[in-house]
Structure 1
């Protein structure tokens, strides 16, 4: 299957043995430059440097992880839409429906607990263009993660009751869920998904983005409670903390400028 996307992120897993790493654990090493040989990387760097944050584009676009694996994986980022619904559905099914079969549907304002069928609702919203996400694909065009985002009036956030007691300044966009296949965690996919969502928001007009995420520094947080990744990841990508809404939960936000009227070239799902 060929996946079309508006931009491409390159993220290699590099074959280098780390004698000090625990078996099966990945250890991050400094970013690796691919120089000027890869036109896909250059295209994305051009987009981000012109419309986004030059430092972020250079620092985050390429990351390398040491592993004991003998494989090399290239990840690309595309949009969730009718054409990529099958890849999204396959990812959800491989992970038992996600969080008890939610299909990333309960955050949508159209969802009615006990009434809506999550899969049916999600597919309908995707096909009519009301559900948005950045999907991360591997080099076999299989989706391995996503970042759900959308207009703020279309998505609910976690800790909504506390949030509504003293709401922050209105946001145009919300990031409501970040999920990574359980077999591919620790490979930087959540970061790529969030970066992809931010880039898609930039191309869709920019504006203030908000999310509710949890802090993890100084504690062992279980994956099943990190519905929207971590505060630390958001801060790494330029978000700031606005207000605490739970024991470890914070509203975070960032404002991005819109892209110019120019449209970047598209790339296939394979590097």
Structure 2
């Protein structure tokens, strides 16, 4: 069903620009690569696979194997993430998918499995330099919610950091913030043992059905 999702248009009042959010399908892989590839060719890159794979699986993928793995994910029925555009320029990425397919999450000792419901997880945000703090992450989150609902998902789960209103470095905020998820309707379920910048991360949920 998700392949028929055509994207959403989001008016971002903060920036007075129109953002478009679309699923990361195979024909958009070049845009995924624009956001996820490393700045230097000799630098290691996660390619947003850190949570999707177990630690051993992640470490086994070398060189071009990681981008190829992400390309393969983009060719599946359900997209592995959402892309945000401003005037046809890709500016943001949000990773999501079934929690059962998130290998590291399944084995995590700090972020527990709450129950056996077939929830999807939102695990990462990437916003291009020059477009941060302008509503792109919020637009991506709203697009992810619409896409998951279109795919018939029962509930969405997230694991954001609780900043208590304070600003934190973007390198710690890639999982999103509690405030952003609460504004989108997510509810706190459990404070996890995971930390970012010495701040707690919460397991949060949004019921879709």
- TM-score scaled by structure 2? 0.81
Aligned: 1:235 with 2:182: yes
Q: 1:131 to 1:65 in 2, by over 3 A?
A: closer
Aligned match of 1:177:
124
CA distance in 1 between partners of 2:160 and 2:106 (Å): 9
Q: Deviations over 1:86-132 (max 9, x none)?
A: 111122348569x9511112221377132113222211222234652
How far is 1:179 from its partner? 1.4
Gaps of 5+ in 1: 12-62, 67-71, 258-271
CA distance in 2 between partners of 1:195 and 1:65 (Å): 16
Q: What pairs up with 1:32-43 in 2 under 5 angstroms? A: none
Q: Which has the larger radius of gyration?
A: 1
RMSD value, Cα: 2.6
CA distance in 2 between partners of 1:79 and 1:110 (Å): 24
Aligned match of 1:113:
58
CA distance in 1 between partners of 2:40 and 2:140 (Å): 21
CA distance in 1 between partners of 2:54 and 2:75 (Å): 14
Aligned match of 2:10:
10
Aligned match of 1:151:
98
Q: What pairs up with 1:73-152 in 2 under 5 angstroms? A: 73-93=17-37, 101-109=45-53, 112-117=57-62, 118-129=66-77, 131-139=79-87, 141-152=88-99
The count of aligned residue pairs is: 194
Gaps of 5+ in 2: none
Task: Write 1 or 2 for the structure with the bigger share of strand.
Answer: 2
SS at match of 1:196: helix
Over 3 Å off, 4+ runs: 93-97, 128-131, 156-159
Aligned: 1:248 with 2:196: no
Aligned: 1:200 with 2:177: no
Q: Which range moved further: 107-116 or 148-157?
A: 107-116
- TM-score scaled by structure 1? 0.64
CA distance in 1 between partners of 2:166 and 2:99 (Å): 30
Q: Deviations over 1:61-92 (max 9, x none)?
A: xx4126xxxxx632101110101111111223
SS at match of 2:137: helix
